[in-house]
Amino acid sequence: MAVTLPEPVRELVDGKNFATVATLDADGGPQTSVIWVGLDDGDLVFSATEDRLKVRNLRRDPRASVSITDAENPYRHTQLRGTVTITPDPDKTLPKTLSHKYLGKDYPEEGPEVERVIVRLRVDRIAGNVR
């Protein structure tokens, strides 16, 4: 059952705070990647290329955990757990949006051979210290 993100968690996601996504490798071991994140319709979203290990892991097992720490106050953090869906992003709109959020400029052009996807986390559990 998806949960609604409380305002303090939304503030962490909306800020220029880097996140770390944890997925499961084929052998069951953890794999982590630092990512840019955003919100779309109440879900946490991030962009990735189809060939990335995190995408292969999530296609095999859609469970994920995303940790976000406040860049200004590292004692303020959250962990979001849930399952993901992966959809194509042929126009590469999400990396453009996130690049403006994090860098304040356009994302570098990628060739047509680069296949982008949108990973959408449906959050079912929230933990952390976001006071």
Query: What is the tens place of the pLDDT at every residue in 98-109?
Result: 999 999 999 888
CA 61 to chain centre: 16
Mean pLDDT, range 51-67, rounded to an integer? 98
Asked whether residue 1 carries a pLDDT value surpassing 80, the answer given is no
Domains and CATH numbers, the chain: 7-127 (2.30.110.10)
**17 with 69: CB under 8 angstroms?**
yes
Locate 63 and state its tokens. Answer: 């469970």
Averaged pLDDT, 107-128: 94
pLDDT tens, residue by residue, 19-45: 999 999 999 999 999 999 999 999 999
- Please name the residue that has the structure tokens 């959408």: 120
- Say if residues 45 and 120 touch (Cβ distance below 8 Å): yes
Tokens of 1: 């059952």
Task: Check pLDDT > 90 for residue 11.
Answer: yes
Angle at the Cα of 99 from the Cα atoms of 106 and 109, rounded to 5 degrees: 45
Segment 69-75 mean pLDDT: 95
